[in-house]
Amino acid sequence: MSQIMPSARQRKMRTLLFWAVPAVLLLLPLATNPYTQFIANGMLVSVLVTLGFTLTIGNLGQLAFANTAFFGIGAYSSAILAAKLGVPWLLTIPLAGAFGALGGFLASAAALRGIRTYYLAIITLAFGELMRWAYLHAKPLTGGTDGMPMPRETLLGISLTDDTLKFYIFLAVTVLLVKATLNLMRSHFGRAVMAVRENEIATASLAIPTARVILATFMWSGFVVGCAGALFARHVGHVFPESFGMLHLIASFAMVLVGGLGSVLGAVLGAVLLTALPEYLRAFPGMEELFFGLIVAGVLVAMPMGLASLLRRVSPIFVERFYREAP
Amino acid sequence: MLMQLTLGGLSQGMIYALIALSLTVVYRSTTVVNFGHGDFVMAGAFLSYVLVVLAGVAFLPAAALAMIAMFVLGVMFNRGLIRPIRGGPHIGLALMCIAAGYLLRGIARMVWGREVLPMPPVFDMDPIFVGDLVITGDAVFIIGTVLVLLLLFFGLMALTDLGKMVQAVYQSPRGARLIGLNVDRFNDFSWGVGAALGALGGILVAPVSLLHPDLGASFLIKGFAAMTLGGFGSLGGAVLGGVLLGIAEQYAGAYLDTALIEITAYVVIVAVLFIRPQGLFGRKAVVKV
């Protein structure tokens, strides 16, 4: 791989840039109206969803369809904990993450039996559909098709329906999880994840327990997306089963691909770019499916490594070591 | 009661068998698993609806036309979208199939919105009573059509070189090329046959169910469940897996709980992959270090 690595100075620049973005975003609520603030909050939720997704399909290189299921598990567990057990919403975020991680464990436990690639894809697909069935049929817990509303709550005397307050909480959670994921991928574990993608047998020969690496990646992915689910529950204020259907799945795929498979920067870019657009398409039935379908097909043919690959060509600052270079 | 359930399961299972078979045809000859196949099934159902209800064509010619159209679409999909990314990772191929499925679904929803469409009954015949067993025209029609088709398919595979060609291309596309097979054209053909067979599943199911753009998703899972049960990649296993799944659904619905009909397929997938990953007829994969 003839990738130019960033120099020490550029690495410092990169750290500065990483913290400058959220610092500037702190001022964002000054420049928004209620609608754009709502959209900005949605973007932060999407960033986490895409980040968790790119871990399994980009970094680990396993086909996985359970991402939407983790999102739903996170949202429903947050709503159930808050509405039925009276847990403060802020506390439900890590708990929802834990349930998401449990979902990640269940969806990928078959990896311990040697299940990979297409089989793993099918079992995660089945897991996702099973969860959707559960939302609809576990009526006393989930409210069935009517969904369930989030309880009213205040934080520091401000109602949690306030989008500016939500923005700051979402931003903090997002920055924390993005940074944690970046660190994790740079660690010994992260390198093992990418080694499994490149050649699982060679990785196993280095005494790395590959099945456990796969399980742990799914669990971290589930944790990140589960937390995103808890944010989403508060973001829209009402959890419906349709929010976690097939449309969400293709939207996540599109966000991952547009940004760049396996790139953390790409996850952020893809999520920010593709969250706002569909809002305008919602009025026309079928347009969302067409839009995301065309984007996924187009990116696969024309730009397989996504927008992040263009940025890498501009400056080595944007080079990460998490993705596979285009063949 | 048991006989009645078995008959119902058999006629549902025949549809699943057809869908699993069409998925396997594409997988065996191109190693691509079509994750958008459910929407090909849906497209077949919708095309036959358009031709029968809106254009007033009789059912049989409409079904033939829809299958030909889907054959062409399958070939076009392989040439236009799959071939350019053939050399890439398998995730890209799977995502391309998903994208194609959503495109079909988007088109269907653009035209029909969120409506649910009923198709007029095609095979309007009085049910036959054998003892207390009721045999409906639809069941006769579905089981009969699929049986004839399966005979034709497996006959062709056994009696002509087609079966060997499929095996050759599956094992080594390069080797197949060396002995003079046009692998690209063969892949086109397999995609066409896969799309047309899947569409037939949709056409057969159209008269006995309600049509909506999302109907493909559940058929995709059922096709996968049938494949997994029979042994992923085994043509005969796909058929038998489909039939068994159809019957198991009916039994689970009648003796346990009707809500279970929908999730029998998922339970089958999970159970098979944990207990016997190679399925009933698959060979155990050997990993070489």
Q: Flag the least confident range among A49-53, A57-61, A320-324.
A: A320-324
Contact A290 B110 (CB under 8 A): yes
Q: Does the pLDDT value for residue A6 go beyond 80? A: no
Nearest-by-Cβ selection for A63 from B94, B100, B113: B94
pLDDT the model gives residue B124: 67
What are the pLDDT digits (tens) for B168-190? Answer: 888 888 888 888 888 888 889 99
Which residue spans within A221-295 are E strands per DSSP? 238-239
Whether residue A296 is contained in a domain is answered as no
pLDDT the model gives residue A326: 52
pLDDT the model gives residue A92: 92
Measured CA to CA, the distance from residue A268 to residue A259 in angstroms comes to 7
Mutate to test the interface with A, among B95, B221, B229 (most CBs of A within 10 A): B95
Contact A289 B103 (CB under 8 A): yes
Q: Does B100 touch chain A (CB under 8 A)?
A: yes
Whether residue A112 is contained in a domain is answered as yes
SS3 assignment for chain B: CHHHHHHHHHHHHHHHHHHHHHHHHHHHHHCCCCCCHHHHHHHHHHHHHHHHHHCCCCHHHHHHHHHHHHHHHHHHHHHHHHHHHCCCCHHHHHHHHHHHHHHHHHHHHHHHCCCCEECCCCCCCCCEEECCEEECHHHHHHHHHHHHHHHHHHHHHHHCCHHHHHHHHHHCHHHHHHCCCCHHHHHHHHHHHHHHHHHHHHHHHHHHCEECCCHHHHHHHHHHHHHHHHCCCCHHHHHHHHHHHHHHHHHHHHHCCCCHHHHHHHHHHHHHHHHCCCCCCCCCCCCCC
What average pLDDT does the structure give for chain A? Answer: 86
pLDDT band at B283 (very low <50, low <70, confident <90, very high): low
Residue of A nearest to B92 (CA): A300
Q: Chain B: nearest CA to A107, how far in angstroms?
A: 10
Measured CA to CA, the distance from residue B186 to residue B89 in angstroms comes to 21
Measured CA to CA, the distance from residue B178 to residue B175 in angstroms comes to 5
Contact B266, B221 (CB under 8 A): yes
Q: Does the pLDDT value for residue B99 go beyond 90? A: yes
pLDDT the model gives residue A2: 47
pLDDT band at A98 (very low <50, low <70, confident <90, very high): very high
Q: Number of structural domains, chain A?
A: 1
Whether residue B158 is contained in a domain is answered as yes
pLDDT band at B102 (very low <50, low <70, confident <90, very high): very high
Q: Which residues contact B168 (CB under 8 A, 6 or more apart)?
A: B175, B176, B179, B181
Whether residue A69 is contained in a domain is answered as yes
Nearest to B194 by CA among B251, B252, B235: B235
Residue of A nearest to B101 (CA): A293
pLDDT the model gives residue A301: 87
B-chain residues near A127 (CB < 8 A): 266, 270
What are the pLDDT digits (tens) for A58-80? Answer: 888 888 888 899 999 999 999 99
- The parent domain of residue A106 ranges over 35-245
Nearest-by-Cβ selection for B106 from A118, A290, A301: A290
Whether residue A239 is contained in a domain is answered as yes
Nearest-by-Cβ selection for A123 from B33, B101, B269: B269
What are the pLDDT digits (tens) for B216-249? Answer: 888 999 999 999 898 888 888 899 999 999 999 9
Contact A286 B109 (CB under 8 A): yes
Other residues' Cβ atoms within 10 Å of the Cβ of residue A13: 15
pLDDT the model gives residue B123: 67
Q: Chain B: nearest CA to A109, how far in angstroms?
A: 9
For tokens 């009923």, name the residue: B118
Nearest to B192 by CA among B39, B60, B34, B68: B68
User: Mean pLDDT over residues B142-149, rounded?
Assistant: 90
B-chain residues near A133 (CB < 8 A): 262-263, 266
Q: Number of structural domains, chain B?
A: 1
Contact A113 B277 (CB under 8 A): yes
Nearest to A25 by CA among A230, A139, A168: A168
Residue of A nearest to B264 (CA): A130
What are the pLDDT digits (tens) for A237-247? Answer: 888 888 888 88
pLDDT the model gives residue A50: 93
Residue of B nearest to A300 (CA): B92
What are the pLDDT digits (tens) for A178-235? Answer: 999 988 988 889 899 988 888 888 888 888 898 899 999 999 999 999 999 999 999 9
For tokens 């086109």, name the residue: B188
Look at residue A249 and give its three-state secondary structure: helix
pLDDT the model gives residue B287: 55
Measured CA to CA, the distance from residue A277 to residue A34 in angstroms comes to 17
pLDDT higher at A11 or A296: A296
The interface predicted TM-score (ipTM) is: 0.85
A-chain residues near B212 (CB < 8 A): none
Residue of A nearest to B223 (CA): A122
Whether residue B285 is contained in a domain is answered as no
Q: Does the pLDDT value for residue A176 go beyond 50? A: yes
Nearest-by-Cβ selection for A133 from B106, B263, B274: B263
pLDDT the model gives residue B121: 73
Q: Does B213 touch chain A (CB under 8 A)?
A: yes
SS3 assignment for A293-304: HHHHHHHHHHCC
Q: Does the pLDDT value for residue B20 go beyond 70? A: yes
Q: Chain B: nearest CA to A218, how far in angstroms?
A: 17
Whether residue A264 is contained in a domain is answered as no
Q: Report chain A's terminal Cα–Cα distance, integer Å.
A: 10
Q: Chain B: nearest CA to A198, how far in angstroms?
A: 11
Q: Does B228 touch chain A (CB under 8 A)?
A: yes
Whether residue B137 is contained in a domain is answered as yes
Q: Does the pLDDT value for residue A155 go beyond 90? A: no
Contact B266 A129 (CB under 8 A): yes
Residue of B nearest to A205 (CA): B289
Q: Chain B: nearest CA to A62, how far in angstroms?
A: 8
Whether residue A204 is contained in a domain is answered as yes
Q: Does B256 touch chain A (CB under 8 A)?
A: no
- The parent domain of residue B199 ranges over 2-213
Whether residue A169 is contained in a domain is answered as yes
Residue of A nearest to B80 (CA): A301
Q: Does B107 touch chain A (CB under 8 A)?
A: yes
A-chain residues near B19 (CB < 8 A): none
Q: Does B131 touch chain A (CB under 8 A)?
A: no
Nearest-by-Cβ selection for A113 from B35, B114, B273: B273
pLDDT band at A327 (very low <50, low <70, confident <90, very high): very low
Whether residue B275 is contained in a domain is answered as no
Residue of A nearest to B97 (CA): A297
Please report, to the nearest 10 degrees, the dihedral formed by the alpha carbons of residues A18, A21, A23, A26 taken in order: -150
pLDDT the model gives residue A94: 94
